[in-house]
Amino acid sequence: MKRINRKIGGENKWLLIERRKCTNKSCRKTHRLLPDISLPYKHYDAGVIEDVIDGTIDEEALSEEYNPSESTLQRWRKWAERLMKDLEGHMRSAAYRILGMTEEFLNTRVSLLEGLRERLNYGWLSAAMRIYINTG
């Protein structure tokens, strides 16, 4: 299956998205394996969306004809606002279930998502989305 990946300045690249059937007997669904540069249901490059969310790219920097519109940037920001709490919750749940963290860890105010953003600096959104999707 092919999918478009748009970058700043109008550069488009077609990606071949691999599909695999789950071997779990209770699932047996077909899943798409997205590369790190792509986010589910988004055509623009994950790095572009991440930069918009982080505020390193704004409407003035994207004034060219082939770039996302101002309304698209606003939709991404609203999407990110809604998603951040879910991402944090999924990361905490995964740390508790998979890594064996304690219940006290679940109640701390330390943000795992902010820690991921600080450590990775670039690519944090793709990493957080992989955790979100792959942990159920």
pLDDT confidence bin for 16, thresholds 50/70/90: very high
- Nearest CA to 68 out of 53, 81, 82, 83 is that of 53
Half-sphere exposure of 109 (CA within 13 A, CB side): 0
pLDDT at 7: 87
**What's the one-letter identity of residue 37?**
I
Parse the chain into domains and list their residue ranges. 36-134
**What's the one-letter identity of residue 39?**
L
In angstroms, the first-to-last Cα distance of the chain is 23
pLDDT at 63: 64
Predicted TM-score (pTM) of the model is 0.80
**pLDDT (tens digit, 9 = 90+) per residue, 38-93?**
998 899 999 989 988 988 876 676 666 667 888 888 999 999 998 888 888 888 88
As a whole number, mean pLDDT of residues 82-110 equals 83
Report the distance separating Cα 101 and Cα 64, nearest Å: 47
